[in-house]
Amino acid sequence: MNIWMNISTLLVCLVACYFIYWLNKKTNFTFTSVVALLIGIVIGIFFKGYTEYAAVLGTIFIRVISMMVIPLLMVSLIKSIYSMKSLHELKSIGGKSIFWLLFQTLLAAIVGAALAIMSGIGTGSHLSIVDGFKVTKIPHFTEVITNLFSANLFTSMAEGQIIPVVFFSIIVGIAVVALSSRKKGSMDTFKSFIDECHDIVYQIIRVIIKLLPYSIIFLMADTIGASDPKALMPLVQIIVLAFVGCFFHIYFTDSLLLKFVGKISPIRFFKNIMPAQLMAFSTRSSSGTLPVYIDCLTKKEHVSENIANFVGPLGTTVGMSGCAGVWPPLLAIYAMNSLGMNVTFTQVLVIILLCPVVSLGTAGVPGGGIMLATALFVTLGLPVEIVGIFAGIDAFADMARTTTNVTSSMVAASLVDASENKKVKASSAVATA
């Protein structure tokens, strides 16, 4: 019976894919992706518990796009760095990027803490641990620093360790800029090689992006169909607050930054980046969304390719307004209220200030929110076993968190680009005068 139900689910998903194929010819990519998202949810509800076979195709898509993350990070970062005219320009863009990523995380943490306090989340509730959940060990601060330097780069690549790859790529890019400034044309052969690799990687990615609407059906059907209602019901409130907090940060906080700092139309911006948001929502991976992220920023928002390629990879390990901003304060205050602790202003302030710190070096992969929450619990002296209770809702909350991570990173890239364009215009005006 189970086999036939799983086969039936798979067949329904395939029929839905044919419909999406037909719809894609009639409408635009964004509308098709939204429809695919809704279809996937409906299939997951009607075929709950029978999405095992359908999940295979969704998993394949995630693995294929994950396979491209390391090559994309390397060629994009190296190319974006050596495309900058000087080390001074690199310093300017790098400093602004880190500032806006961390500043948005701080703002998101304030939103999360405010929602948790106003709602009194966790008060009077009883926490129980999800069976079989194992809390990941939090490395010491000195270990985090040493992990920036890989003893074997190929091992780091094979294990999907993004931080050493990002760090190595930045070093290579800086070295190329330094050598090029000493002797003109000395690095042309290497640059040509990276340029060709960049073209190859992006050609593969363009094909992957076209498959996004179809993959959304399988991914959403499995997410909805495989979730345990018993694990979700006691924590419905925290799921709702996570979504409210994340979307408030996206459409209010980030809108204010776009409007008043970047002088960018928020409505136009969110319309142009919707494909990246949908992919982030369905895949729950900041790293996996990078191809669509860069495509939306460069082609629709006309952000400099150098800036998009630099801020995008950086945003998967620094900042993360959803996973490190909104989410940790909700969990920490929920746990403190559940344990009957008195939540003081000082404790809330510490939680908010710690959020940007714990975001440093957390790779943008599905489930990163649990790791961040564990780090915060250890720092605050809360029993880390409590983190296990949130395992049952992590997949749902991660949809909103990852969407927020990606959106805030794209906002940061746009603000940096706007700042650089303003500087260029000012220089041109001075030169003309």
Q: pLDDT tens-digit profile of 254-283?
A: 999 999 999 999 999 999 999 999 989 987
Confidence band of 363 (pLDDT split at 50, 70, 90): very low
Nearest-5° Cα angle at 312, 310 to 318: 95
Would you say residue 71 has pLDDT above 70?
A: yes
* pLDDT recorded at residue 153: 85
CA torsion, points 86, 90, 96, 102, in degrees to nearest 10?
-170
CA atoms within 13 A on the CB side of 3: 0
Q: Is 138 left (phi over 0), alpha (psi -120 to 50) or beta?
A: beta
User: Mean pLDDT over residues 345-374, rounded?
Assistant: 70
Top-confidence residue, 378 or 272: 272
Q: Which residues contact 105 (CB under 8 A, 6 or more apart)?
A: 319, 320, 321, 324, 325, 355, 356, 359, 408
Angle between helices 87-119 and 305-315 (to 10 degrees): 50
Confidence band of 136 (pLDDT split at 50, 70, 90): very low
Q: Which of 48-52, 127-131, 135-139, 391-395 has the highest mean pLDDT?
A: 48-52
* pLDDT recorded at residue 364: 47
* pLDDT recorded at residue 365: 45
Q: State the average pLDDT for the chain.
A: 81
Confidence band of 111 (pLDDT split at 50, 70, 90): very high
User: Mean pLDDT over residues 39-51, rounded?
Assistant: 86
* pLDDT recorded at residue 133: 41
Token output for 413: 């890239």
What percent of the chain is modeled with pLDDT above 90?
26
What percent of the chain is modeled with pLDDT above 70?
81
Confidence band of 167 (pLDDT split at 50, 70, 90): confident
- For 199-258, the pLDDT digits (tens) are 898 788 778 878 878 888 888 888 778 766 655 565 678 889 999 999 999 999 999 999
Contact in structure between 127 and 384 (CB atoms under 8 Å): no
Confidence band of 131 (pLDDT split at 50, 70, 90): very low
